[in-house]
Amino acid sequence: MGALLRFLFYGVIVRLVVLFVLGLNVRHRERLPSKGPAILAANHNSHLDAMALISLLPLRLLPRVRPVAAADYFLRNKLLAWFALNVVGIVPLNRQRQHVHDDLLAPVAAALERGDILVFFPEGSRGAPEQLAEFKSGLARVAERRPDVPVIPVYTYGLGKALPKGEWMIVPFFVDIFVGEALRFDGDRAAYMARYRDAMAALAAEEKHADWS
Amino acid sequence: MNALHLWIPPNVLWVLGAIVAVLAVATGIVAVMQRGDSTGKHAELAARVKSWWVLVAIFAIAISFRRGIAIAFFALLSFLALKEYLSLIPTRRADRRVLFWAYLCVPLQYWWVWKQWYHMFLIFIPVWAFLFIAMRMVLRGETKDFLRAAGTIHWGLMTMVFGLSHLAYLLVLPDGSNVPAHGAALLLFVVLLTELNDVLQYVWGRTLGRHKVIESVSPKKTVEGLVGGALSTTAVTVAIAPLLTPLTFTDSIAVGLMIGFGGFIGDVTISAVKRDIGVKDSGALIPGHGGILDRIDSLLFTAPLFFHFMKYFYF
């Protein structure tokens, strides 16, 4: 039942919205992973981010593809939790420790262990529309635990215009998606995050985009 | 033909067949050009010809079956063009919902076409949408860059919605008149000649082009390309006008020149917009061509020009 709903959601509804309401220009599509485990590490501006990224992967991978999302936000009531867990298929992540020994990244590690392709937002929150917030080091911590898993930086532009934080109405905009080369962990978290930041900046600079303020 | 329930008359079908034949010849020529060449310099040309096959197929399917389907197709085209334009230009965050209203103009404008409400078709965007969008914007209260935002949004509606919808109105133009003409034939006529003019101007410019015509906007456009293209387009116009339109011989010369030079102005106008924004192509939807605006730029001028010429002198 859950799998069928998920297939209808991503295979039909999301794809129709992406095709007609949005419209994606994807650069370097060939850099997307063809199997798990893998991580797509993208900038975060909109609820549409994860949907648009998941629509780029073939449907046969859908059972393996899951966005990592904030447990405090998406599990805040029963209905939303059901939708988030069964239809969207999130890997819930707690953003705050309840206890000093809590392992916040355990669900992410478990999903990678299962061979999932995860959509990960290192900024941790959508923030101000079409503006990059600080990338948090959670990404480097995941990479440190699983240095064998490729992390693919993905830069998106336009989704925060189509559906920014605090809005419910989607306004059509074309979306540009730039897929980067996979990053490998080299033993140093700070250096790893610096390389991720540089990769994202390089992707963002591939095309000139109009200001949005 | 009756079994397929086609809406278009035989002459339109014949011209569509001729276009396919020309495309087949072009594909053959490009294949020969590519054979002895390993540098890949004809790759873009090959991609372009390949995309033409897809564009011709979509266009033929869109216009062949029902008038309603054809009108809906042009509504979709307007929507995609407007989306490309609004994604390209700088817009203000404050105007996000205003843009939603701008998009809503697309189904309404094409509804007037379907209903053949000519008066509303003419004034809806220039009067009602113009006033409403300004009102919606001013009630939002953001005055910074107000004029620029109001101007660019309205410019988009005038070209991508109002301008393009003239193509759809050609489909219903002959209704209730005793002039022997078919809407689909008029539509095919102006679209075919406009696109052909683009190709001819390109070919003339590439082979004989010496003198720049408007270098600051479009450095590759030449006087030879413009004049050679416009004159050869006029020759083709005169040749096929009797097949598709009620145009007299002299009028067909006038229409040929109008499409030849009007198409050029449409092309360089969109070039100016892209140059102002700082992009080369408006998108990447059509391989070898760029975005939708790169393909329909000339039609933004030729469609209203041809429509009002026909409306004034014939219908």
Residue among A167, A208, A212 minimizing CB distance to B278: A208
B54 exposure class (CB count in 10 Å sphere: 0-12, 13-18, 19+) = exposed
How far, in Å, are B19, B229, B253 from residue B235 at the CA level?
A: 17, 10, 8
Q: Given a cut of 70, is residue A186 above it in pLDDT?
A: yes
Mean pLDDT of A78-90: 93
pLDDT surpassing 60 at residue A107: yes
Query: CA–CA separation, B194 vs B197, rounded Å?
Result: 5
ipTM higher than threshold 0.95: no
CA distance B36 to A63: 47
Question: How confident is the model over B212-263, as pLDDT tens digits?
Answer: 999 899 888 999 999 999 999 999 999 999 999 999 999 999 999 999 999 9
Q: Tell me what percent of the residues of chain A surpass a pLDDT of 90.
A: 71
* Cα–Cα–Cα angle for A14, A15, A18, rounded to 5 degrees: 85
Q: How many CB pairs under 8 A join A and B?
A: 48
Whole-number average pLDDT of chain A: 90
pLDDT band at B14 (very low <50, low <70, confident <90, very high): very high
Give me the sheet containing A38-42, strands edge to edge: A24-27, A175-179, A151-157, A38-42, A117-120, A65-70, A91-93
- Residue contact B103–A172, C-beta within 8 A: yes
Using one digit for the tens of pLDDT, what is the confidence trace for A18-39?
A: 999 999 989 999 999 999 899 9
Cα radius of gyration (chain B): 20
Element (H, E) at A42: strand A38-42
Please name the fold of domain A2-204: Glycerol-3-phosphate (1)-acyltransferase (3.40.1130)
- Is the pLDDT at B38 greater than 80? The verdict is no
Say yes or no: B296 contacts chain A, CB-CB below 8 A. Answer: no
Q: At what angle do helices B67-88 and B146-156 cross, to 10 degrees?
A: 150
**pLDDT over 90 at B110, yes or no:** yes
**Confidence at residue A33, expressed as pLDDT on a 0 to 100 scale:** 94
Q: Look at residues B208, B193, B187, B212 and name the one whose alpha carbon lies nearest to residue B266.
A: B193
Integer Cα distance of A163 and A171 in angstroms:
7
Q: What is the pLDDT, as a whole number, of residue A103?
A: 84
Parallel/antiparallel/unpaired status of strands A38-42 and A117-120: parallel
Q: How many CB atoms lie within 10 A of CB A161?
A: 24
Domain parsing of chain B, residue ranges: 69-172
Distance (Å, whole) CA A213 – CA B20: 47
pLDDT at res. B2:
56
Summarize the confidence of residues B30-51 as an average pLDDT.
84
pLDDT value of residue A98: 79
Measured CA distances, B98 to A46, A72, A168, B136 (Å): 19, 33, 15, 7
Give B6's pLDDT tier (boundaries 50, 70, 90): confident
pLDDT digit string, tens, across residues B268-299? 999 999 999 888 787 777 887 888 999 999 99
Q: Which residue of A has its CA nearest to B76?
A: A20
Sign of the dihedral defined by the CA atoms of residues B164, B166, B167, B169, in that order:
positive
- Half-sphere exposure of residue B68, counting CA atoms within 13 Å on the CB side? 1
DSSP state of B291: S
**One-letter identity of residue A143:** A
Q: What are phi and psi of B91, to 5 degrees?
A: -120, 160
Q: Which residue in the set B89, B90, B93 is minimally distant from A129, CB to CB?
A: B93
Nearest CB to B100 within list A25, A171, A213: A171
Report whether pLDDT(A213) > 90.
no
Q: How far is B147 from chain A (nearest CA, A)?
A: 15
Angle formed at CA A203 by CA A200 and CA A205, multiple of 5 degrees = 110
A179 to chain B nearest CA, in Å? 16
Scanning B69-88 for CB atoms below 8 A from A yields 79-80, 83-84, 86-88
User: Residue B3: is its pLDDT beyond 70?
Assistant: no
Give the pLDDT confidence score for residue B39 in this predicted structure: 74
Q: How confident is the model over B191-197, as a mean pLDDT?
A: 97
Q: Is the peptide bond before B242 cis (omega within 30 degrees of 0)?
A: no
| Chain B contact probe: residue of A170, A171, A211, A212 with most B CBs at under 10 A | A171
pLDDT of residue A208: 77
Model pLDDT, residue A56 = 94
Comparing A41-45, A127-131, B78-82, B183-187, the range with the smallest average pLDDT is A127-131
The angle at the Cα of B132, spanning B128 to B136, to the nearest 5 degrees, equals 170
The residues, ordered by sequence, that sit 6+ positions from A13 with a Cβ below 8 Å of its Cβ are none
pLDDT at B80 over 60: yes
Q: How many CA atoms lie within 13 A of B284 on its CB side?
A: 12
